[in-house]
Amino acid sequence: MTSPQTSPHMFLVPPPRNPVYYTLASGTLLVINKVAIVALPAPSFVLLLQLLASAGAVLAAHGVGAVTITPATSRQLLHFLPVTIGFLGTIYANIKVLQHSNVDTFITFRSSTPLVLAFCDWAFLGRQLPCGRSWSSLGLLLLSSAGYAYFDKGFVMDAYLWLFIWYVFFTFEGVWVKHMCDTVPMGNWARVYYANLMSAPFLAVVLFFDTSEQDLLAETEWTFNIIAPIALSCAVGVAMSHASYLLRSHAAATTAAVVGIVCKLLSVTLNLVIWDKHAGPVQLGFLLMGIFAASIYRRVQRGLQALRQAPLRQPPKVSDYGGVVAAKEAAAS
């Protein structure tokens, strides 16, 4: 086995705990997706391209030996079915929100997700309940979302309906993926590959029956202004898929959600710079309140009972990093 010190592929991806990697991917993808969906308002088609690009990129990297995709067992694939449902529902509802609303609306309501995930972490994943400081943070997040909605002069019912659908899928996916990372040994590049590959057929069926998107695609003139943002969203989507699994391998579902909120400060900045499709000053104030609240959140530890019942980790296997152990990617929580 090639050692981590001498692996020729060790630096092809950032270290698992590198926050810059996740911040850049998460902070930019939301705005890039908004630009892509404005250029081509066909969310099913755009997402299908992103899924195929992510799965194809990982498969190509595996083919040249840059990463490793371990063959999945039937048990692992069975665990991936709920992941596929949650993942596909989350990203589809996400892009539908962006189709009917602006980036700021999505970020603000995403900021309230740790409230639900904190309870789910405690109820299903054996985490302790948040401390006083963290409850204060979660309370500010709720106030941020409520204040933003109250002053939302561009209220669109379709946007808030899709926000609710996204909320349900995001909560389910966040908890289940964390459970899977803790209990199903698999390298993170393999997780990216299987999650995207298994989601693509479902979205292809949706696109097949969506005649409005088919008509739009038939009439589309494929100019640079359309191709460029879609291609960029596909490229950043690969990094985001991997960064997301790395983060959730090392953090509780609530903590991962909070980190994702803090990263959205980059999204807000980009959104303000590139165009006028953003919220007003009062709403931006509530949005920044939510990001600040997320930044003061203190992660909770696993409960004593969960630690006692936690299964022993299996011996490490060769990972996606060409020698770094795969078990290490899912060990810390």
Whether residue 324 lies inside any domain: the answer is yes
Q: Which token pair is 179?
A: 């459970």
pLDDT of residue 66: 92
Whether residue 9 lies inside any domain: the answer is no
Beta-carbon contacts of residue 315 (< 8 Å; ≥ 6 apart): 327
**Type and span of the H or E element at 207:** helix 188-209
d(CA 119, CA 138) in angstroms, rounded, equals 11
Cβ atoms of residues 189 and 69 within 8 Å: yes
Dihedral of CA 184/185/186/188: which sign? positive
Whether residue 266 lies inside any domain: the answer is yes
Whether residue 309 lies inside any domain: the answer is no
pLDDT in tens, the chain (333 residues): 443 443 333 334 444 455 678 878 888 888 899 899 999 999 999 999 999 999 999 999 999 999 999 888 888 888 788 888 888 888 888 888 888 877 777 777 776 677 777 777 777 666 676 677 777 877 887 787 777 767 766 556 677 888 889 888 988 887 887 777 777 788 889 989 998 999 999 999 999 999 999 999 999 999 999 999 999 999 999 999 888 888 777 766 666 666 766 676 777 777 677 766 656 778 778 878 877 877 676 655 554 444 344 444 444 444 443 333 344 444 433
Q: For 42, phi and psi rounded to 5 degrees?
A: -130, 80
Give Cα separations from 331 to 19, 136, 178, 181, 310 (angstroms): 18, 30, 11, 8, 11
pLDDT of residue 309: 44
pLDDT of residue 283: 74
Domain extent at residue 188: 19-300+315-331
User: SS3 of 320, please?
Assistant: coil
Beta-carbon contacts of residue 318 (< 8 Å; ≥ 6 apart): 1, 68, 325, 326
Whether residue 310 lies inside any domain: the answer is no
d(CA 241, CA 25) in angstroms, rounded, equals 9
Domain count within the chain: 1
Q: Which token pair is 55?
A: 């799965």
Whether residue 247 lies inside any domain: the answer is yes
Whether residue 7 lies inside any domain: the answer is no
Cβ atoms of residues 47 and 95 within 8 Å: yes
pTM of the model: 0.68
d(CA 18, CA 263) in angstroms, rounded, equals 13
d(CA 70, CA 60) in angstroms, rounded, equals 14
CA dihedral 269, 272, 275, 276 (to 10 degrees): 160
User: SS3 of 127, please?
Assistant: strand
Whether residue 117 lies inside any domain: the answer is yes
User: SS3 of 302, please?
Assistant: strand
